[in-house]
Chain A
Amino acid sequence: MNATPLLEVRKLTVRFRTGATTVEAVRGIDLTVAEGEVLGVIGESGSGKTVSGLAILRLLPANAEVTAECLAFRGKPLLTLNDEAFRSLRGTRFAMVFQSPAGSFNPAKSIGWHLARTIERARSRPGRATADEIIDPVRRLAEVGIPQPERVLRLYPHQLSGGMLQRALIAMVLLLEPDLIIADEPTTNLDNIVERQIIALFRRLRERTRAALMFITHDMTIAAALADRIAVMYAGEIVESGPTPDIFATPRHPYTRALIDTALQLERKVAQLREIPGEMPSFAELPLGCAFAPRCPRADADCRRGRPTMVALSPQHNVRCIHHD
């Protein structure tokens, strides 16, 4: 881990201003993604994982304020780049696959039009080795498992299923050959069978491309199937991170444990699902101490006193819990 990571994030904080109130949706998270690595970012909806992804790509609305001690891509700081310089990195260096496939396409334009624009974009990338190569949209769609690609090129977004649209978007992202793909719950809006197909597609991609993947999900089983490392988010902070085997073998944070339990029960189709009691606190009224304490079976007075710091259990495995033993 001495090499410069592909993406390095330290103390990333995102605040939203609405009128007089300010809400801190991401509270100083640290993340690194190495070249070619798959990082699974796990958490419930509202834990700040999507906002983190959008913040890294500078895609948040104007009322969001993003700060970080370090936000670097291959060692190059990103926050100091002007908008135009940053824009040229999107697509070519990092790209994003979104939660809603139907919402990712211009409703007025055909799939072929989207691919044509993306191919233009791919060609405009400075120093792209394949600038002279003919990029065949039909082949690209076939590669991600779209049947009858010639026909699909002529169709409009509303005529395709969510699964097909997500495949088409993945094909677009892939032909840009980015170094990092941020996938934000790309299967949440799809049904089970299609979800499995898309996950399988991502697994095949791992073998084929050099791109690193930051896979945002709320589902531990998906993370287990894809990720080299896992970061668990809760209420805008990372509560545990480490290599996937370590996390599953020895989860140290009670929240991680609960997430794994829920996933295992789902796997075994347990009749009486034991869910984590309570709800995630809203960002407007975070507790003073550990944010998870109100729902935590092991919480005591110490937990409510102050925000726990990150403890390094091993060079790679970190946990934000005072009862990590």
Chain B
Amino acid sequence: MRSSLIKAILRNRTAAAGLAITVAIAFAVTLGGAISPYSAVDMDFLNLLAPPSFAHPFGTDSFGRDVLTRVLIGGRVSLLVSIAGVAAAAIVGLLAGLYAAWHGSWVDAVIMRLADLVFSFPSFVLALFLMVVLGSSVLNVAAAIALVYLPIFARLTRNMALLVKEEPYVQAARLMGESTARILIAEILPNIAAPILVQVSIGLAFAVVIEAGLSFIGLGVQPPLPSLGVIMADGREYFQRGPWVLTLTGLFISLALLGLNLLGDGIRDLTDPRLRERIGS
């Protein structure tokens, strides 16, 4: 199942392009800080607000810091926060969704009503609210992302699991007395993995936007720790004198989102049977 999915991704142009961009960005933010000859924090007052050049592809900021280096290191912060948030949402959502689907009755009703409630708030407003209440910190940004995405994963898992639960092979496994945990892991999880993967991919894209948005308005990650939103908020201050800081950082985010969105779309196309071409009869 897993290797065949990877093969299918590589055959699908959209998914392959998305995967390539995502992997490239992941590599860049992982290694970028180590490879770059510049530091993300050391200031260079001889090179204040230098426009993009060969030495500084993204230019320098108002403290003379290399923007590309800052973007790569800030990108790592943003991506780690987003991954932590989405991973927490996916794991808790998966467990809650499976529990709701398996238990049914009032447990299901309560979990789904809670998910509906969270789902009714504008996602960014909810994240903002949580930042105000919890206080601005890296961990709290991840927590806000997790809470915003929790209902999506819970609802998706529950609906998919309810469908799979009625399948004959799952019924057979139940009749043969297999343990619930085994059935969930061996029979149900593989069958709902693809839509979850789509949501993880698209959710990561939205999480990056939420982190950047919160930090951009100043309620997310706090400087001096760089994140993509922090760098853009900084660039906003001198947007007219050095537009490249905000512009190129935003382009970098857009590229990351493009990769994640394409990857999500591609996997969805691959695994959604409704979208497969049918032969007319």
* A and B bind: yes
A284 vs B38: C-alpha distance in the bound complex, in angstroms?
62
Whether B277 pairs with A51 at a CB distance below 8 angstroms is no
Q: Say if the beta carbon of A61 comes within 8 Å of chain B.
A: yes
How far in angstroms is the closest Cβ of chain A from B270?
A: 14
How far in angstroms is the closest Cβ of chain A from B274?
A: 16
A60 vs B279: C-alpha distance in the bound complex, in angstroms?
10
Query: C-beta contact mask, B266-277 vs A, less than 8 Å → 1, else 0?
Result: 000000000001
Q: Say if the beta carbon of A23 comes within 8 Å of chain B.
A: yes
Which residues from B are CB-within-8-Å of A46?
A: 281
Query: C-beta contact mask, A107-130 vs B, less than 8 Å → 1, else 0?
Result: 000000000000000000000000
A25 vs B280: C-alpha distance in the bound complex, in angstroms?
10
Whether A18 pairs with B280 at a CB distance below 8 angstroms is no
Whether B279 pairs with A23 at a CB distance below 8 angstroms is yes
Which residues from A are CB-within-8-Å of B281?
A: 46, 50-51
How far in angstroms is the closest Cβ of chain A from B261?
A: 25
Whether B280 pairs with A64 at a CB distance below 8 angstroms is yes
How far in angstroms is the closest Cβ of chain A from B273?
A: 14
Q: Say if the beta carbon of A63 comes within 8 Å of chain B.
A: yes
How far in angstroms is the closest Cβ of chain A from B125?
A: 35
Query: C-beta contact mask, A42-84 vs B, less than 8 Å → 1, else 0?
Result: 0000100011001000001101100000000000000000000
Query: C-beta contact mask, B37-57 vs A, less than 8 Å → 1, else 0?
Result: 000000000000000000000
Q: For the complex, would chain B's binding face be called helix, strand, loop or mixed by DSSP majority?
A: loop
Whether A60 pairs with B277 at a CB distance below 8 angstroms is no
**Chain B residue with the shortest CB-CB distance to A59:** B280
**Chain A residue with the shortest CB-CB distance to B280:** A61
A54 vs B281: C-alpha distance in the bound complex, in angstroms?
9
A23 vs B280: C-alpha distance in the bound complex, in angstroms?
11
Which residues from A are CB-within-8-Å of B279?
A: 16, 18, 23, 25, 63
Which residues from B are CB-within-8-Å of A50?
A: 281
A18 vs B281: C-alpha distance in the bound complex, in angstroms?
13
How far in angstroms is the closest Cβ of chain B from A67?
A: 16
Whether A54 pairs with B280 at a CB distance below 8 angstroms is yes
How far in angstroms is the closest Cβ of chain B from A236?
A: 12
A116 vs B281: C-alpha distance in the bound complex, in angstroms?
30
**Chain B residue with the shortest CB-CB distance to A16:** B279
Which residues from B are CB-within-8-Å of A51?
A: 280-281
A201 vs B149: C-alpha distance in the bound complex, in angstroms?
59
How far in angstroms is the closest Cβ of chain A from B22?
A: 26
How far in angstroms is the closest Cβ of chain A from B204?
A: 31
A63 vs B280: C-alpha distance in the bound complex, in angstroms?
9
A25 vs B279: C-alpha distance in the bound complex, in angstroms?
10
A64 vs B280: C-alpha distance in the bound complex, in angstroms?
8
A138 vs B69: C-alpha distance in the bound complex, in angstroms?
77
Which residues from A are CB-within-8-Å of B277?
A: 18-19, 63
**Chain B residue with the shortest CB-CB distance to A19:** B277
A19 vs B280: C-alpha distance in the bound complex, in angstroms?
14
**Chain B residue with the shortest CB-CB distance to A46:** B281
- Chain B 5-31 interface residues, beta-carbon cutoff 8 Å to A: none
A63 vs B276: C-alpha distance in the bound complex, in angstroms?
13
Which residues from B are CB-within-8-Å of A60?
A: 280
How far in angstroms is the closest Cβ of chain A from B193?
A: 25
**Chain B residue with the shortest CB-CB distance to A61:** B280
- Chain A 16-35 interface residues, beta-carbon cutoff 8 Å to B: 16, 18-19, 23, 25
A63 vs B277: C-alpha distance in the bound complex, in angstroms?
10
A306 vs B45: C-alpha distance in the bound complex, in angstroms?
88
**Chain B residue with the shortest CB-CB distance to A50:** B281
A46 vs B281: C-alpha distance in the bound complex, in angstroms?
7
- Chain B 104-140 interface residues, beta-carbon cutoff 8 Å to A: none
New contact pairs (14) apart from A16-B279, A50-B281, A63-B280, CB-CB < 8 Å? A16-B280, A18-B277, A18-B279, A23-B279, A25-B279, A46-B281, A51-B280, A51-B281, A54-B280, A60-B280, A61-B280, A63-B277, A63-B279, A64-B280
Binding site for A on B (CB under 8 A): 277, 279-281
Q: List 7 A-B contacts (CB under 8 A).
A: A18-B277, A25-B279, A50-B281, A51-B280, A61-B280, A63-B279, A63-B280
